């Protein structure tokens, strides 16, 4: 992966549309504070929203947000942030809102516009920004979902591209900014042990599991609109699949990393209903905001096929669900057994494997057979294990916001990759496959076990709490630190 910076200068202001919303409280304010504290950022931060707030309320909200994240506040740093914090109240379609914003932006030349707003509002904001004259030399940062289907994704991209070139658009899928996900890329391409076996000749199957042991909580209304496929599979897990299976980027060409990810996603066949299982946990319909006759999936399992030379014939299984047995995200690469079992043993197909855990801890494990002590030549399965807890890594949103200000795009989704992901799931969106009940605390409907069939079984993650020593440093990809900005 190469660090490529656009020719445009660093962003010298941050404008957050939807600044009073939940996302800003949970993620964006802590990220901005981290930039001021760790990277010497000192730029105007302008919040825009419809809420009848005062400057003092916005400052108090920012402090509350940082404290709620468990971050110790350095009063000198926060005072600097507060001095740069501004609030603009107004309707997103009103010209006077943008006149006030432009007044605050006076003296800046390269603002970053963060769209922490619903996609339905994007056209209004982008058109109004263009009319205001404040968007010259700017970048725009948008949150998922990037549409609800292929058609709406294309329409959204058309709206953005009307006023911004692709290298000025930053689509956040925060999964891509996670340290463990970046570590997959590094581990794959930095170790000569893995790359020679990372293909159809040596890999029998691939499984990706994203399980959560809790329900939709207060997000019932959102989940009724999204469901598991739109919420995490079309974006997070297909992006993760691309990272796991892409070819190595080469040549130092700008955007080579995203070129390879997009190429991989374009090689994945669109899903067929016969290769999908949808489930809904018992009790989902009692959650606030959920219809009593809801058919939205809280679980989905699917079989995917990659039509390229490296992965031809290797089945890929993805599953994700709420109210599962554990909370864990894990990739399991099952290696092919030798053509003959030399010692006449009956060995499980999953004996030889590579296991990569994204959360709650970071794990890279290599499955091997080792001899049981004694006179007989019999063995048992064992794992060579590297494990750590991500205690000293740069927070995901801080990393992504910093990259967007610098014009570094590797960790952001690109237009062709987004549309390729929608093409994969488009044939199975909606109720084309009926939902089945499953009990909370289980691994989904029984049909999911039948779906994987002879390629299985599913490898159910086992989560064991690990408490590292105080001086433990994860033996994985290091934290990226930058010099303070001038």
Residues tagged active-site = 236
The CA distances from residue 218 to 55, 286, 390, in Å, are 29, 11, 27
68: Cβ–Cβ under 8 A, 6 or more apart, which residues? 25, 26
Could you tell me if 21 and 49 are in contact, meaning their C-beta atoms sit under 8 angstroms apart? Answer: yes
Quick one: which of 372, 378, 382 has its CA closest to 352?
382
Q: Determine the straight-line distance between the first and last CA of the chain, rounded to whole angstroms.
A: 26
Which residue has 């794992």 as its token pair? 383
The phi-psi region of residue 441 (left if phi > 0; otherwise alpha if psi is between -120 and 50; otherwise beta) is left
Q: Return contacts of 313-316, CB within 8 angstroms, 24+ apart.
A: 313/200, 314/200, 314/203, 314/204, 314/205, 314/206, 315/205, 315/206, 315/455, 316/205, 316/206, 316/207, 316/208, 316/241, 316/245
The CA distances from residue 45 to 106, 133, 241, 430, in Å, are 13, 19, 36, 40
Quick one: which of 389, 391, 401 has its CA closest to 34?
401
Which residue has 């445009």 as its token pair? 8
Q: Cis (ω within 30 of 0) for the bond into 46?
A: no
Q: How many beta carbons lie within 10 A of that of residue 432, not counting itself?
A: 12
């Amino acid at each position: 992966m190469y660090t490529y910076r656009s020719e445009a200068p660093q962003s010298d202001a941050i404008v957050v549309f939807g600044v009073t919303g939940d996302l800003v409280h949970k993620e964006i304010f802590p990220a901005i504070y981290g930039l001021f504290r760790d990277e010497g950022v000192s730029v105007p931060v302008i919040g825009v929203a419809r809420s009848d707030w005062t400057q003092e309320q916005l400052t108090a909200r920012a402090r509350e947000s940082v404290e709620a994240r468990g971050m110790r506040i350095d009063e000198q740093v926060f005072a600097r942030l507060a001095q740069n914090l501004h609030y603009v109240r107004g309707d997103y379609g009103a010209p006077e809102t943008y006149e006030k914003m432009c007044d605050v932006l006076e003296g800046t030349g390269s603002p970053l516009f963060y769209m922490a707003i619903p996609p339905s509002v994007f056209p209004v904001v982008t058109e109004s920004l263009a009319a205001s004259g404040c968007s010259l030399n700017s970048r725009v940062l948008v949150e998922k979902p990037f549409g609800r289907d292929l058609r709406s994704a294309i329409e959204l991209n058309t709206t953005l591209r009307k006023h911004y070139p692709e290298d000025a658009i930053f689509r956040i899928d925060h999964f891509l900014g996670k340290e463990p996900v970046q570590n997959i890329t590094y581990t794959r391409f930095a170790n000569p042990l893995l790359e020679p076996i990372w293909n159809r000749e040596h890999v029998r199957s691939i499984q990706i599991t994203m399980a959560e042991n809790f329900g939709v909580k207060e997000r019932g209304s959102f989940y009724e609109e999204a469901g598991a496929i739109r919420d995490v599979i079309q974006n997070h897990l297909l992006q993760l699949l691309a990272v796991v299976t892409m070819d190595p980027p080469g040549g130092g060409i700008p955007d080579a990393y995203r070129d390879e990810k997009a190429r991989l996603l374009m090689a994945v066949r669109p899903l067929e209903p016969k290769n999908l299982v949808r489930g809904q946990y018992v009790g989902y319909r009692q959650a606030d905001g959920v219809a009593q006759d809801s058919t939205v999936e809280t679980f989905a399992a699917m079989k995917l096929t990659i039509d390229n030379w490296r992965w031809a014939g290797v089945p890929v299984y993805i599953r994700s669900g709420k109210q599962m047995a554990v909370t864990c995200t894990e990739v399991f690469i099952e290696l092919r057994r030798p053509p003959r079992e030399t010692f006449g043993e009956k060995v499980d197909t999953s004996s030889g494997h590579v296991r990569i855990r994204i959360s709650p801890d970071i794990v890279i494990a290599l499955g091997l057979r080792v001899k049981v002590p004694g006179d007989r030549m019999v063995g048992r399965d064992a794992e060579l294990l590297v494990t750590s807890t991500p205690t000293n890594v740069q927070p995901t949103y801080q990393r992504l916001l910093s990259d967007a200000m610098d014009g570094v795009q590797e960790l952001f989704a690109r237009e062709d990759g987004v549309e390729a992901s929608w093409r994969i799931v488009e044939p199975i969106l909606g109720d084309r496959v009926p939902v089945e009940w499953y009990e909370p605390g289980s691994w989904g409907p029984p049909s999911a076990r039948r779906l994987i069939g002879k390629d299985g079984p599913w490898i159910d993650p086992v989560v064991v709490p690990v408490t590292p020593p105080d001086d433990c440093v994860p033996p994985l990809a290091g934290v990226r630190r930058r010099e303070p900005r001038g």
